A and B are shown apart, each in its own frame.
Chain A
């Protein structure tokens, strides 16, 4: 019966889950299928055991009537074929079957998890009412059948009757969960069904892991003859979840074993057992009451809503403790209003590379993707000329790159929270738009150099105005243009222009230095020429005067002894003028000899001795 119920519930559950798009329902169907497999295996094993019992009875009957016959001296295998079949079944089929179950559990968990993670998956229960009604009905049927079967199995105390009812009860709870998912969809928790489906997947993986561990332990388990063994494919985890009341019994047994006496029979344990429902209710009540106090952290503000309506006079909660009605009557939404928040326009940094210490034009910043902003081209004739030269028709624009941080603060929380559904995104959109609008009419060089501060202030004003226009309730604290630069590919050429400008300046300075040297030296040379002329003049004048004075004194001497004076003057001058001159004296006067003089200067010895190397061929 268990097998038939599980199979029927599986088919019905699959149909309803498909119809209602209940993801948790589809995952539950896998459990129903597994339960069916387990129930089938246990049913077959039970049939073998029953046949074996009948065979044993028949054998004992025959043994009484035909005692001493040679028939009963044969081997066990020949006498008990059904027993042998059961042993073969347990030895070979059960382990293989358990491996198959384990593979289905693990593979099912893996593929279902991936299937649930697909972005295109529709995660909403399309027919929540139908899902609620039909899965609720299925849960009720399974629960009743499961309870009946479990009680029957407990009364018979037969281990092989246990797995089927346990799976039926577990699936009943799962169907109840699927129905709750449908209720969640009705109540606004659209993704409740998806979360339940994921939880069931995780549970399926756990059960698969448990089956694998059972398989490994089975190889080393000591076999005790006569002891009733738990079926290999039966999951303890499924058993605990299917019959949670067994948890308390298990806990009591564990306590008894640990303390060495019957803890479960003490007054405290009995009180605890009696009052557990009240204690749980008390816990739940405390949990609900704890939602009546809210602590707003420093730098935060809270929005208090009662039944979705801002509470007049207490809409904004400042930092500190506040009392409110418990959830879901009052709800508080927190916002960090004091904090200066920042977003970047123009760059999407790569994770882990935001803290680069050296920022260069020629290297991609923070390893991220930089946007190129269009700027109008103001180079006189530059664009057209270079485009024509290149034979291309490119737009007369330039591109500029930069990471522009925009810092803001929430100043009006009501506007921030209630006017726009995604105020931070809108503020970023507005800032990007204003920056783009500024650049398309800006001068690139101006923005990158002396006009940076003014541009930053203008942008902050414009973004603030646009933000106010959209009723965002934010204050723009700062727009940073410190990182504007030409795109990385073009940046080296910009640096070359800077280099060329410096080179130009260096050349001019060198020429100015040369000019100064030339002019100073020329001035000095001119002064020297003039001075020399003055010296010559003085020498000429003074010399002439001196010579005149000398001559005036020489006249009396000459007139006193004309020939002697002349001779003396001649000889004195001769002696003074020729001490270093080379002199040749021709003493013979009455001959007609021809005398040849070689008066050329002798060339220096070392120069004549230079050996000229032979010409290379």
Chain B
């Protein structure tokens, strides 16, 4: 294959342009900050975005870092409150590079400077978090009345402490914000809380159950009382009515005084008639009218009135024994 010199020239120019621009310039994004080192010594800190020139490596090298706010969440760690309750807490933190000149020498030698800075910050944070949480009772974290305002104060305490330590150590980073992300209980404590919650529920279930029974009993007894009162009132009313009836009926008794003997006889007959309505066994002799007819003698009750005697008879039932005298 023959090589065209023009082709080779164009390719060479293209390669020179591409590699030249690559080696002699670099871009910095809006979100980045760049540190230029000359033979390893930091000689320039570029915070404005755009296209910048440089000498080719290894004379000058460019280190770019994200200058936006970085956020990370630390590990969920077990800490002790001032009233000796174990809780698990994790915190999220927002930080950014504030001084590239301080940041670069401390972290640029590592494989991932941003990650290394995060690790340093996390170690610092863990220390501060444990210390601050240990100063507060559990009620500062969990309270039904404060609306979570105590948590804000605790976050502020941790943030202030971390900020001051980061500033004192001149890491070149600024902690922008911090928040308690998770607040949980260790596994064993969680089990105990579950047990307690179950006990509470059992108490509530029993309460409901027996409240129901008690209320039902109360309703029933009130109903019984009301029923008794109604019946008693009705009985009383009935007695009164009967009494009134008797009183009214007594008015007609004067009629019977006109012929008392006849009245007594009639009342006796009524009583006798009523008495013989049920199952009755009668024993007569032949003098008892109308059985006296069997002896051929006529009956005269007015001259010889009948007498009645009652004799108890074995067998439990009363039997009227009538004898004519």
Contact = CB atoms under 8 A, between A and B. Distances in A.
Interface string B56-87: 01100100101011110100000000000101
Interface string B264-280: 01100100110111011
Interface stretch (A41-49, A202-210, A359-367, A426-434): A426-434
A569 B265 contact: yes
Contacts of A487: 194, 197
Contact of A548 (B26, B146, B256): B256
Interface string A429-470: 110110011101111000000000000000000000010011
A235 B28 CA distance: 46
Contacts of A132: 57
B302 A554 contact: no
A386 B203 contact: yes
A587 B294 contact: yes
B182 A277 contact: no
A504 B209 contact: yes
Given A421-B69, A571-B289, A577-B272, A390 B182 contact: no
B177 interface: yes
A585 B26 CA distance: 150
A507 interface: yes
A599 B206 contact: no
A518 B182 CA distance: 60
Interface stretch (A68-76, A108-116, A393-401): A393-401
Contacts of A251: none
A80 interface: no
Contact of A507 (B184, B216, B313): B216
Interface in A532-569: 532-534, 536-541, 543-545, 547-549, 551-552, 554-555, 558-559, 562-563, 566-567, 569
Interface in B277-318: 277, 279-287, 289-291, 294-295, 299-303, 313-317
A443 B144 contact: yes
A446 B269 CA distance: 85
Nearest to B241: A533
B216 A426 contact: no
B132 interface: no
B193 A395 contact: yes
B205 A522 contact: no
Given A395-B138, A571-B289, A307 B27 contact: yes
Contacts, number: 427
Interface residues of A, number: 150
15 contacts: A273-B1, A281-B11, A374-B142, A392-B196, A433-B180, A436-B183, A441-B146, A493-B205, A526-B234, A537-B242, A538-B245, A540-B248, A541-B245, A548-B256, A569-B266
Interface of A: 122-124, 126, 128-129, 132, 183, 186-188, 245, 248, 273-274, 276-278, 281, 305, 307-310, 328, 371-372, 374-379, 382-383, 385-387, 389-390, 392, 394-399, 417-422, 425-426, 429-430, 432-433, 436-438, 440-443, 466, 469-470, 486-487, 489-490, 493-494, 496-497, 499-501, 503-508, 510-512, 514-516, 518-519, 521-523, 525-530, 532-534, 536-541, 543-545, 547-549, 551-552, 554-555, 558-559, 562-563, 566-567, 569-571, 573-574, 576-578, 580-587, 589, 597-601
Interface of B: 1-2, 4, 7, 10-11, 14, 22, 26-32, 49-51, 57-58, 61, 64, 66, 68-71, 73, 85, 87, 92, 94, 111-112, 138, 141-148, 151-152, 177, 179-185, 189-190, 192-209, 211-213, 215-220, 222-224, 226-228, 230-231, 233-235, 237-242, 244-246, 248-253, 255-256, 258-259, 262-263, 265-266, 269, 272-273, 275-277, 279-287, 289-291, 294-295, 299-303, 313-317, 319
